[in-house]
Structure 1
Amino acid sequence: MRSIVNNVKTFTDARKFVNCLSKIKKSKILMVISGSPVQNIVARIHHLPQIYSIFIFYRRNKAKYEQLAKNWFKIKGVQTDFGMICELMKIAVKNIEKDSVDTSITLNSNAADQNMDFLDQSYMYTLLLKECLIAMKHDERSIEEFVDYCCDSHGNELQEREIEQFHQEYHQHSPIWWYTAPHFLYSMLKHSLQTLDFEAIIKLGFFIRDLHEQLRKLHSEQFKESKEKLLIVYRDQGLSRSNFQKLKSCVGNLFSFNYFLSTSPDRNISILSAKQAAKNQKFVGVLFMITVDLSISSTPFANIRDFHYQSGKEVVLFTTHSVFRIEKIQQMDQASRSWLVTLTMMEHNDGYWCSLIRFMRNEIHGSTESHRLSTLLRKICEFEKAFIWCVIPLKQTSDDFETWNLYHQLGMLKTELGDYTGAISYFQKSIEVYEKKSVINDPHLAESYTNIGLVYANLGEHSTAFSWYEKGLAVRQKISPTNHADLADFYSNIGSVYYNLEEYEKALSFYDKACEIRQNILPRNHPDLATSYSDIGLVLNNVAKYSKALEFQETSLEIRSIVLLPNHLSLADSYNDLGLIYNNMGDYSKALSFLEKGLDIRQRIQPSNHPNLADSYNNLGVVYTKMQDYSKALSFLKKGLEIRQETQHLNQLNLADSYNNIAWVHYKIAKYPEAVKYQKHAVKMGEASLPSDHPRLLFWKQRLKTMQVKSSNGQNLDPDFIGIR
């Protein structure tokens, strides 16, 4: 039995078994019952989603239990021969693998481009990750690190014996043998690719590379001089009803399996398996018929019968991220819920889809694959993992460009994590690398100048930020054409400084320049274009052009929803920005909905004291204040204040906003001494951060006088003014 499933547990106490089930959330369980009150146990656990199949092993009263199986569909067998139980379990394991399919299916429409195929964003990022891992050099240390990872992260799930067997015997068998063996490696690889567990995928990088390379070599041997023009293979699958309906709506579009795909050249066996899958009422039986044009196909796939764990078994295995077009979907027969889906393998070496991938690939630059991996991890907001992949090679390199790149990456990561002091330190180190070489006009130097300016802008030190931006712009203008993407970044950053200074006309001018360059050189669904649309939307919101602002922000969100992973911080920014617009428009329920979505992503990814979290708490507090839910308003505003007090050295003006907002809530609930206390703090901070004639500071001072008057004579004289970020 241990050769069939990853983990075997035995119980003699039914209560302990049921308690154990409650702790298992993600795994699927195959249950064998023997010598127990079967009916009582089945009745207690049959409804649980983690129970996949139940088998009854009894030497007597077989007919009685076969009758019981008719009433409980998860009972898949009643046997007196334990060998038959094991055979049925093998079938169940195969069905679990197929039922757990996670496919990327693209709809043939989106707001940015109505006529383009576009695969799920997870496809793009996992493809780029795979390319990094395949190009990396892996050695025995990679295997050692994977073994340590298994022991540390999965020690309770995996048998120590299996981990040790893999460690000792990995080089004794081929990657295909390991992939097809009844071993934890297969399920771990597939699960990590389906759930986007980037840590596990990276730890498995050596095996992904080895398996891909073996398929590539076999593909060349088997099909390079083949006289056959077409290859037709089959894949039987159980799809949920919802996923099948989604599939039916996508005829003519692209379809991808983001993992290594096993198929069979035997149509009849595949049909039987598809019909078997359809017997589960929750699923629709699907038979994929895949046609491959051997004259143009370069995607690695091969018949692995000579390397399969079950030697001689006819299986054609495709590498991950193989792409197919859905040609046709038709019911196989009226008597069953089984459908035939005709797929054609695609090369996709041209057109829009490939253009975006190519741009993203170029942006994940670096002198080594470790650098590229770190950049990719930063782009998908895996900041801590990216940091590790920078620190390790920094200790090992003596190359100047590599050193600059690593310091620069570390500065970017520190910026994302809200550690602005650390970010400045790393950017300054990156600048020193080029200053030692007496290099003046270098694009990398310009990039460091720009990013150090970005940090000072986040700190609210706008004059210092301008100084660094101007240094970077001077270098970039000497060496780059006027429509270069880096110039767009400069204009965008300068626009942000003017935006924070509330000089909205100047901000819009620079945002427009950045947007124009990006529109001319980037694909229409590029994330940087979404940033430009968002920037313009922010300005329009602050000059009360709400409808136009909403249009820009919605376009930005549509692009980001297509090309970014669901928990990306840029999506949080979009949700926050839309919340601000709806707040200004007086639609508070929509404002709350978007602001809460943004907060949820930020809480998942950023440290608990990150300034962005303070912004989210503050914005929610402001909306609740306008809804007159003062208890919730104070709760959120004080959370924001706590973070801003902890990081007040970063931006005192934001801290002043928090004091002002809390003062206003206290004023509204007639706690006038508290209101005066907080408003005094706001004025004090404002005097330290703003010119004496700044409208905001003048308003805060007037508000303080109003509160003091109200505290004295009980009259409410103040209009509603609350700071929101």
Structure 2
Amino acid sequence: MNNFAIKNNELMFNEADEQEWCLSHDIFLLARALTEDEKKQLYDPAKDQMPSLVQVRKRLNQYQSAFSQKPKVLTNITLTPADEHEHALKTLNSVKTLHAKAKEIATVAFTAKMEKQTDKVKLLYKQAFDYERKAAMLSAEDIEPTHFMLFKSAANLALEADRYEEAVEIIELGLSHDLTIEMTEELLGLLDYLADIYYEKGEYSKAQPLLEKTLAIRYDKLEEEHWDIPNSLNSLGLLYQAQGEYDKAEPLLEKALAIHEKILDAEHPDVAMSLNNLGSLYQKQGEYDKAQPLLEKALAIREKTLETDHIDVATSLNNLGFLYQEQAKLLFEKALTILQKRLGNHHPYVNITHNHLVWLLQGRQ
């Protein structure tokens, strides 16, 4: 199902497509129409590629559109008892029938989600996942393109049900087959998404093997300068950085920047992102002379290419401000040491410099 149309390098995305996509349980809720800028963010002409579902889901999960507002009268949704559900799972052995059942329950789950019947949403998605997983398992011996979609769909349902380990299992089963590059990327994108969930929750030990796996597979399947390689490098590098493993993070972030600078325009937002990532790492390591030009360049690109109130501009300003603050601290400390040695501890000039340092340190608290 193709929910996007590309015309003159612009993404055409309407509410009918949006609603169809949501109801197909490939899953995100939008609660308002997208702005033109938001539409353009979904498609990058520099890469000449439509985004994967998971990319869109990650970018737009904060939005909701008019059709997803909670209605005044809720749909009467009855959950299938656990014993009936298990019995049906055991007796159904047709891929087509299992998939149809999964789609039926997923549509009900989406309705519950749209109406904010939160006590039923995850249970429904779990039941839908059970049927879709069995359909995928039965189709595993005949992995045609249509059957590959069962693995992707089952993984999405598991994610909606917060069944993360089961999502990983079904994704890895799909990846064990001889898939096309496009199919492989769809499943790797879901692992990226799950790793991002773990990262945001601070569960780094769960995110790390997923990101290491996606990077290894991409190195094996893709050209080194494919745009998904630097994205993987950045993700894993940032994860290592968050864990204080700077020696592991540095070569990955340096490589990501080198590839982005080679394959993209000099002022592309992804170049700014890689500059910011590497500059921030140098800053954390106290290598301020290496960090400053990178952070300044990232800010210059963002101020030129983005809206003045864009969050990435604020991020760059914040990072650079903190760097200047760190540098100022070192300068004041060095000046104070020299002045104390030459003028003694009670000289007015020494007191002024000391007060400046105290003021700076208090401002950092």
Q: TM-score, normalised by structure 2?
A: 0.52
**Is the CA contact (8 Å cut-off) linking 2:236 and 2:249 kept in structure 1?**
yes
The alpha-carbon deviation at position 630 of structure 1 amounts to: 1.4
The Cα shift of 1:597 comes to 1.0
Relative to structure 1, the CA distance from residue 489 to residue 537 in structure 2 (aligned partners, 3 Å threshold; closer, same or farther) is: closer
Is 1:565 the counterpart of 2:176? The answer is yes
State the Cα deviation string for residues 311-362 of structure 1 (Å, max 9, x = none).
xxxxxxxxxxxxxxxxxxxxxxxxxxxxxxxxxxxxxxxxxxxxxxxxxxxx
Letter in structure 2 aligned against 1:560: I
Which of residues 183, 193, 207 in structure 2 aligns to 1:577?
193
1:600 counterpart residue number: 216
- Alignment-derived partner of residue 646 in structure 1: 262
Q: C-alpha separation between the residues in 1 aligned to 2:212 and 2:247? A: 17
Q: 1:495 to 1:578 in 2, by over 3 A?
A: closer
Task: Determine if contact 2:26/2:153 at 8 Å carries over to the other structure.
Answer: no
More strand by share: 1
Alignment partners' CA distance in 2, 1:659 and 1:627:
20
Asked if 2 retains the 8 angstrom alpha-carbon contact of 1:450 and 1:490, the reply is no
How far apart are the structure 2 equivalents of 1:567 and 1:685?
A: 41
Q: Which has the higher contact order (CA 8 A, sep 6+)?
A: 2
Question: Is 2:250 the partner of 1:666?
Answer: no
Which residue identity is paired with 1:561?
A: E
Aligned equivalents of 1:604, 1:696: Cα separation in 2: 32
User: How much does 1:701 deviate?
Assistant: 0.8
Describe the SS at the equivalent of 1:628.
coil
Structure 1 residue 712 displacement after superposition: 1.8
Task: State how 1:488-637 maps to structure 2 within 5 Å.
Answer: 488=24, 499=57, 501-502=59-60, 504-506=62-64, 519-520=103-104, 524=132, 525=136, 527-528=148-149, 530-531=151-152, 549=162, 551=163, 553-566=164-177, 568=179, 569=184, 570-637=186-253
Equivalence for 1:692: 308
Task: Indicate the residue corresponding to 2:121 in structure 1.
Answer: none
- Provide, for residues 439-485 of structure 1, a one-character-per-residue CA deviation record: whole Å limited to 9, x for no partner: xxxxxxx95x83637x96xxxxxxx22x2x34xx87x89xxxx97x8
Q: Distance in 1 between matches of 2:54 and 2:190?
A: 16
Q: Given that residues 621 and 637 in structure 1 are in contact (C-alpha distance below 8 angstroms), is that contact kept between their aligned partners in structure 2?
A: yes
Post-superposition offset of 1:566: 4.5
Q: Where does the alignment leave 5 or more consecutive residues of structure 1 unmatched?
A: 1-445, 457-463, 541-547, 720-725
C-alpha displacement at 1:584, in angstroms?
2.9
Q: Contact 1:529/1:556 (CA < 8 Å) preserved in 2?
A: no
Shift of 1:628: 1.6
Q: Distance between the aligned counterparts of 1:560 and 1:688, measured in 2? A: 40
**Residues of 1 paired with 2:364 and 2:5: CA distance?**
42
Separation of aligned partners in 1, 2:52 and 2:215: 27
Partner of 2:328: 712
For residues 194 and 364 of structure 2, the distance between their equivalents in structure 1, rounded to whole angstroms, comes to: 28
Change (3 A) 1:564 1:676: closer
Question: 1:651, 1:500 → 2: CA distance?
Answer: 23
Does the alignment pair 1:450 with 2:66?
A: no
After superposition, residues 466-485 of structure 1 pair within 5 angstroms as: 467=12, 469-470=13-14
Partner of residue 299, structure 1: none
| TM-aligned CA distance change 1:694 to 1:576, over 3 Å | same
| Runs of at least 5 residues in structure 2 that lack an aligned partner in the other structure | 29-50, 69-98, 107-127, 137-146, 331-359
What amino acid sits opposite 1:618 in the alignment? N
Residue aligned with 1:452, SS: strand
CA distance in 1, matches of 2:52, 2:220: 30
- Output the CA distance in 2 between the equivalents of 1:566 and 1:663: 39
CA contact (8 A) 1:660 1:678 kept: yes
Instruction: Classify the secondary structure of the residue corresponding to 1:504.
Output: coil
Residues 113-132 of structure 1: pairs in structure 2 closer than 5 A: none
- What is the Cα deviation at residue 687 of structure 1? 2.3
Change (3 A) 1:648 1:537: farther
Is the contact made by 2:230 and 2:255 (CA closer than 8 Å) also made in structure 1?
A: yes
Deviation at 1:561, TM superposition (A): 3.4
Task: Tell me the secondary structure at the aligned position of residue 621 of structure 1.
Answer: helix
Q: Return the letter of the residue paired with 1:601.
A: I
Cα pair 1:488 1:517 within 8 Å, conserved: no
> Percent same amino acid at aligned positions?
22
Residue in 2 aligned with 1:93? none
Counterpart of 1:616, as a letter, is S
How far the C-alpha of 1:577 sits from its partner, in A, is 3.0
Equivalent position SS for 1:506: coil
Deviation at 1:667, TM superposition (A): 0.8
Question: What is the deviation of 1:567?
Answer: 6.5
Do the aligned residues in 2 keep the contact of 1:595 with 1:620 (CA within 8 Å)?
yes
Q: From the superposition, tell whether residues 536 and 660 of structure 1 become closer, same or farther in structure 2 (CA, over 3 Å).
A: farther
The residue matched to 2:64 in structure 1 has which SS? helix
Cα distance change of structure 1 residues 580 and 713 upon mapping to structure 2, 3 Å threshold: same
Amino acid at match of 2:6: I
Deviation, 1:585, is 3.2
Larger radius of gyration: 1
Does the aligned pair in 2 maintain the 1:527–1:559 contact within 8 Å?
no
CA positional deviation for 1:694:
2.2
Q: What count of residue pairs does the alignment treat as equivalent?
A: 240
User: 2: CA distance between counterparts of 1:711 and 1:677?
Assistant: 13
In structure 2, C-alpha distance between the alignment counterparts of 1:536 and 1:614, rounded to whole Å: 28
- Cα shift readout 1:42-77 (whole Å, capped 9, x = no counterpart): xxxxxxxxxxxxxxxxxxxxxxxxxxxxxxxxxxxx
Name the SS of the counterpart of 2:286 in structure 1: coil
Query: Structure 1: which amino acid aligns with 2:248?
Result: K
Aligned to 1:586, the other structure's residue is in SS state: coil
- Counterparts in 2 of 1:377-396, with a 5 A limit? none
Structure 2 letter corresponding to 1:504: Q
- The Cα of 1:528 is off from its aligned counterpart by 3.7
Equivalent-residue separation in structure 2 for 1:647 and 1:585 (angstroms): 32
Q: CA, structure 1 residues 584+496, in 2 after alignment: closer, same or farther (shift >3 Å)?
A: closer
Between the aligned partners of 2:267 and 2:150, the Cα distance in structure 1 is: 28
1:679 aligns with 2:295: yes
C-alpha deviation, 1:496, in angstroms: 6.0
In 1, Cα distance between the equivalents of 2:190 and 2:52? Answer: 20
Q: Residue type of the partner of 1:506?
A: Q
Q: What SS does the corresponding residue of 1:505 show, helix, strand or coil?
A: coil
Deviation at 1:571, TM superposition (A): 3.9
